[in-house]
Amino acid sequence: MKKQTKAVLFDLDGTLLDTANDLGEALNYVLNKYNFPTVAREHYRPVASNGAKGLLALGFGEQLDEFDYDVLRQEFLAHYQENIAVHTCLYPGISELLTELNKQDIPWGVVTNKPEGLTSLLLPYFDEFKNCQVMVGGDTLKERKPHPAPLLYASQQLSVNANECIYVGDAPRDIEAGNRAKMYTIIAKWGYILATDECNLWQACAIAESPLDILKSIL
């Protein structure tokens, strides 16, 4: 293990879990309710990391302003909560990565912009998260990513200096938050990243093509 790496923190959606299809189903439920055309998987998947706000904007487009956004958001979240793990699954290689971190006694946790309540509901569906030592949701603090506060809070909970942590995510806000927190940042290339996204411009410390590539930055 590299001297400076004492913990690993992860984004959730698009990094550890592929949640896009359940989020997309929630979007299409709301669209159906208001007689809007549904969105195909290939179109909502790249937007899944942006949560309810990004998905509703995708589905309703310019007409979103004609609706009470808070009502749409609550309808979206209610359907999502009731069907939170129907299609969601771990990305290939994540189980092996987490197992290796556990073997090496490297603490790890989740820092996500997903609401804390939904995150707490989702994680128990997967046995791999029983060793998750910290979880920070998008509403745990006043600030959320790209603000560094959630990452700094998570490192404090692990009793580890931020500059001794790795943060892994699949969106620019993840890398910005990690960099601002002075963490070693890694892009999860397998996540919700379009082929046209120039993630080499996100100023991450490294880009991982697969979850097991992360071990190269640790071991």
Which are the catalytic amino acids? 11
Contact 85, 119 (CB under 8 A): no
Handedness of CA 123, 127, 128, 130 (dihedral sign): positive
Distance, first Cα to last Cα, the chain: 4
Q: Say which residues have a Cβ less than 8 Å from residue 71's Cβ, sequence separation at least 6.
A: none
Q: How many CA atoms lie within 13 A of 101 on its CB side?
A: 30
